[in-house]
Amino acid sequence: MPQTTAIEVRIEDLHKSFDTKPVLTGVNLTIGRGEMVAIVGGSGCGKTVLLKHITGHLHADKGRVMVANHSVEPDGTGTAPLLDIARATADQLDQVREHWAVVFQRNALLTGDVFDNLAMLPRELKLMQDEQILPLARKALTDVGLDPETVLHRDRDMLSGGMAKRVAVARALVMDPVLVLYDEPTSGLDPEMCVQIHDLIAATHRAQPALAGTRKGAVRTSIVVTHDTELLRRLQPRVVMLHGGRVLFDGSFDAFAASDNEHVAPYLAQMHVLNARDHGN
């Protein structure tokens, strides 16, 4: 990443073990503001564990995770200061998370209708009333290609798999996030639906958050944990591969596909199989 680029996430010498099993053994990674980064690697390599450290839901055994704090005023260049997740108070974390959104592998939609799902975070984090949330929910559904009049009050259990994924992304957009994190967004979906989700991720990434109207250079950053080779090929994100608890590869998709590393080619060959089934990370 160019040194002149503002930082959204910085991970330094991150270690994490569960019981006696080491999962992360020294991850170093810097993600710049506005980047789209795909985190890849074999099942059990620690992709989701890394994602949970970024969001502050897991704490490192060693090392640190720092994130851009968009809840405070930036400096003169529009750069948000970095906050050490481990040193943040609960209130600071809540404020920082107001500018984030996570799209979970299995969508994690709550019991109830679509509006209840979209309204959950604005109600809890921003104390908004339903009449304030309604136009935001309608816009978010439109942005993900759904008709608000058709789906706004449809029960979660009446959604198809593709619709549920779109609602999960719409729930993220309601918060107008600066940072969006996707955990296996196309896992288990058919090829046609995968292409639609690719396009949705790309469009969501390109859309400027509301901060762009008040802060210089405010753009959206996307982190995608995935096994989806076609996503990498179509969206051309920066590719970061974890192996052995560390970053094995960091570069473009073309360089990744052409890599002669002994671990990259076998992983590339099995990515489509891994993406087609439910699996651990």
Determine the pLDDT at residue 2: 41
**pLDDT greater than 70 at residue 216:** no
Determine the pLDDT at residue 61: 96
Domain locations in the chain? 7-99+178-275, 112-176
**pLDDT greater than 50 at residue 126:** yes
CB proximity list for 66: less than 8 A, separation 6 or greater:
7, 9, 10, 11, 12, 82, 83, 84, 85
Determine the pLDDT at residue 280: 42
**pLDDT greater than 80 at residue 164:** yes
Architecture, CATH, for domain 7-99+178-275: 3-Layer(aba) Sandwich (3.40)
Higher per-residue pLDDT: 272 or 214: 272
Per the CB < 8 A criterion, the answer to whether 41 and 47 are in contact is yes
* Mean pLDDT, residues 51-72: 93
Percent of the chain with pLDDT strictly greater than 90:
54
**pLDDT greater than 60 at residue 45:** yes
Higher per-residue pLDDT: 278 or 270: 270
Measured distance CA(80)–CA(85) in Å, rounded: 15
* Mean pLDDT, residues 212-235: 83
Per-residue pLDDT band for 234 (boundaries 50, 70, 90) equals: very high
Give the model confidence (pLDDT) of 178-208 as tens digits: 999 998 888 877 888 888 889 989 988 988 7
Measured distance CA(19)–CA(129) in Å, rounded: 44
**pLDDT greater than 80 at residue 246:** yes
CA distances from 173 to 152, 209, 219, 250 (A): 15, 9, 14, 28
Q: What is the pTM of this model?
A: 0.87
Determine the pLDDT at residue 277: 64
Measured distance CA(134)–CA(243) in Å, rounded: 44
Residue corresponding to tokens 């076998």: 266
Four-residue CA torsion sign, 21, 25, 31, 35: negative
Q: Which backbone phi and psi does 213 adopt, to 5 degrees?
A: -80, -15
Please state, rounded to an integer, the average pLDDT across all residues of the chain.
87
Give the model confidence (pLDDT) of 2-43 as tens digits: 444 789 999 999 999 999 899 999 999 999 999 999 999 998
Residue among 15, 14, 49, 37 nearest 256 (CA): 37
Determine the pLDDT at residue 212: 52
Amino acid at 121: L
